[in-house]
Chains A and B, each alone.
Chain A
Amino acid sequence: MIQIFGIPSQALFGQLLLGLINGSFYALLSLGLAVIFGMLNIINFTHGAQYMMGAFCAFLLLKYLGINYWAALVIVPIVIGILGILIERLFLRHVRKLDHLYGLILTFGLALIIEGLFRNYYGSSGQPYSPPPELTGGHNLGFMFLPNYRAWVIGFSLAVCLATWFAIERTRLGSYLRAATENPALVRAFGINVPRMVTLTYGFGVGLAALAGVMAAPIYNVSPQMGSDLIIVVFAVVVIGGMGSIMGAIVTGFMLGIVEGLTKVFFPEASNTVIFAIMIVVLLARPAGLFGRAA
């Protein structure tokens, strides 16, 4: 068997694919963050909590209303997105014009409160959630066993990421949004309701986090701290990709998933630090991030 760095090449392919799957969660979450930062200039630290609420919302819908995974995939992002809109209306719009730090501290505090509330009601051990019956089982690809659900995760998140990129970079609505970020006063002069657009954008970013949460529920433990475990890594992804860069967030998300996957083979103990090591190197070489435009 061909070996690469002492690892059979087949095992390596398996790990690459797994890295790509994890990368799709990073991509989906960092995309939401990048959209919110790019359009609202808010560093949304509640993102992890909103991802966790997405997973919990899917669990609650199934438990109390018998609503299955597929319906949850549509309902949950809307419900959590509306909650996000409430947060924007009540809190965020008041700090938007201030220094980034205020928004950061506000959203961080909100994240702690939300997590604490969930821990109080549901404890820390987590809740059960099974994959949809249509997607159980898997295929033997020769070099690894690929569960159907993971294949779905990678395909679906890629589609969502690309659709979002297209909507923001290539459509008329997206161009309004980008213009409103550059010069809100001028865009308003053209008769476009900028505050409403900003609110809806935040709702959309939060919806993306909730969508990632629903997709995570069948494979990760649905627990109140699931978001805070992930959010720090996702922030590193956004910083590496370049704050506010849509394409940067997507590409970096998938790329770092692969790097992390490989670390898990060669030096597993470092798998939760490797991303930060990369972040340091990138910030030294390119302070604006890999895809960011220098200010």
Chain B
Amino acid sequence: MKLLGSLAFAAAALLGTAAQADDIAVKIGVLTDFSGLYTDDTGLGSLAAAKLAVQDFNPAAHGMKVEIISADHQNKPDLGSSIARQWFDVDHVDAIVDVPTSSVALAVSEVVREKNKVLLVSGAAISDLTGPKCSPNTVHWTYDTWMLANSTGKSIVKTGGDTWFFLTADYAFGHALARDTAAVVTANGGRVLGEVAHPLSTQDFSSYLLQAQSSKAKIIGLANAGGDTINAIKQGAEFGIQAGGQHFAALLFYVADVQALGLKAAQGLVLTETFYWDMNDGTRAWAKRWQEDRQGRFPNMNQAGVYGATLHYLKAVAALKSAADGRAAVAKMKELPTDDPLFGKGYIRIDGRKIHPAYLFEVKAPEESKYPGDLYKLRATIPAEEAFRPLKDGNCPLVTN
């Protein structure tokens, strides 16, 4: 085994020098949801963002050749990890980006660590990726469950929403989001009155809504995403949840979800993203280029994160002049300060957490929306240092060792 290992190492070293002789070849795989309920929030939009990052990096100027490939993991952890294995073993992929659906991201993270490649997470939310499950090969770029809880959850408790009932998607992501939010609620003097876990992709929420209604909690926390959140809010209006004085907290909500629900039903919802296409000239210009590929749609933070993470990874590879060693590439990414037009200046912590500000938005009323995609107004900015879980609280083995 040891002999095999050193042989492989020697071969890798040889290949590395061979590649350096001409262009440095880098292959990036966008592993995302192209067909399920998270497609609009990631999917083709993420692929388009990765391509823009390569364009802006300009590989030729750095003596590099970058190739982007993509695959659909269908939100299945087993499928995600087998695609990752095939990419590394057969297709010689150096880095995987996006990977929405927390359960898939956790599975792929293990494969990436084993093969010493790079994982740039944008679409997945679970904060354990930079906590107990952190890896020297993984960077978690865009957001996480702790940050959503800390921003949306805290602001709601502070404005009087002090009793909560959770509707939780019954898998890794939902439970992590409910757990992190419950911690924030109790830390700020609120109480959690109950929780009900529903299967992923539930059509009918009426039964759960009735349970939430009878709990008399002021806030119904939706620890789910995509179609599940939309269905819950749509049916909540029907059952008179808002009319009865209860409010929804959509803990993870995107531009496409607002459009699916319509402003009439979504107005007033408070949500957190780390990117909004209409923030400043830089984001607007980028969104316009992105729309050449995705007509009529608007990018969200996941897709922006794919852009930011890919761009920064390529800078690190250029500095190292090799993409062969994944651990070294991630170490280089942590060493270099980050800077891009979408997230501004920032850095990556030792646990793999990318640090940047988070924004608390409120969904506009129909009469406030002046042009297509004009959906959010900014309520608060959470500064970069406060937006994410403090390093010491994460229980990441990379930090303690």
Contact = CB atoms under 8 A, between A and B. Distances in A.
B208 A125 contact: no
Given A125-B256, A138-B239, A271-B198, A145 B213 contact: yes
B201 A261 contact: no
Interface in A107-161: 116, 119, 123-128, 130-131, 138, 144-145, 147, 149-150
Given A125-B257, A126-B260, A11 B210 contact: yes
A21 B244 CA distance: 22
Nearest to B262: A128
B231 to A, nearest CB: 5
Interface residues of B, number: 43
A18 B205 CA distance: 10
B208 A138 contact: no
B260 A149 contact: no
B347 interface: no
B383 interface: no
Contact of B227 (A14, A125, A131, A271): A125
A221 B199 contact: no
B260 A144 contact: no
Given A149-B238, A219-B234, A269-B197, 7 more contacts: A138-B240, A144-B210, A150-B238, A219-B204, A223-B260, A225-B37, A271-B198
Given A145-B213, A268-B196, A124 B39 contact: yes
Interface string A1-44: 00000000001001100110110000000000000000000000
Interface of A: 11, 14-15, 18-19, 21-22, 116, 119, 123-128, 130-131, 138, 144-145, 147, 149-150, 219-221, 223, 225-226, 229-230, 261, 264-265, 268-269, 271-272
Contact of A14 (B210, B261, B265): B210
B260 A128 contact: yes
A221 B260 contact: yes
Interface of B: 35-41, 43, 170, 196-199, 201-204, 206-208, 210-211, 213-214, 226-227, 230-231, 234-235, 238-240, 244, 256-257, 259-262, 264-265, 297
B220 to A, nearest CB: 15
Nearest to A138: B240
A226 B231 CA distance: 11
Contact of B203 (A14, A130, A220, A269): A220
6 contacts: A18-B207, A125-B259, A219-B234, A221-B260, A229-B203, A230-B203
Contacts of A223: 37, 227, 260
A223 B37 CA distance: 9
Contact of B35 (A119, A125, A219): A119
A125 B226 contact: yes
Given A138-B240, A150-B206, A265 B40 contact: no
A-B pairs, 10 with minimum CB distance: A128-B262, A264-B207, A124-B39, A125-B260, A126-B260, A272-B199, A125-B256, A125-B40, A123-B40, A147-B238
A220 B204 contact: yes
A124 B210 contact: no
Contacts of A145: 213, 239-240, 244
B172 to A, nearest CB: 14
Nearest to A128: B262
A95 B211 CA distance: 48
A131 B238 contact: yes
A174 B364 CA distance: 55
Contacts of B197: 268-269
Contact of B199 (A18, A116, A265, A269): A269
B170 to A, nearest CB: 5
Contact of B38 (A15, A124, A230): A124
A220 B257 CA distance: 14
Contacts of A150: 206, 238
A220 B231 contact: yes
Given A124-B36, A128-B262, A138-B239, A221 B210 contact: no
Given A11-B210, A221-B231, A268-B198, A128 B261 contact: yes
Nearest to B199: A272
A231 to B, nearest CB: 11
Contacts of A128: 259-262, 264-265
Contacts of A130: 262, 264-265
Nearest to A11: B214
Given A124-B39, A125-B260, A150-B238, A221 B230 contact: yes
A264 B210 CA distance: 11
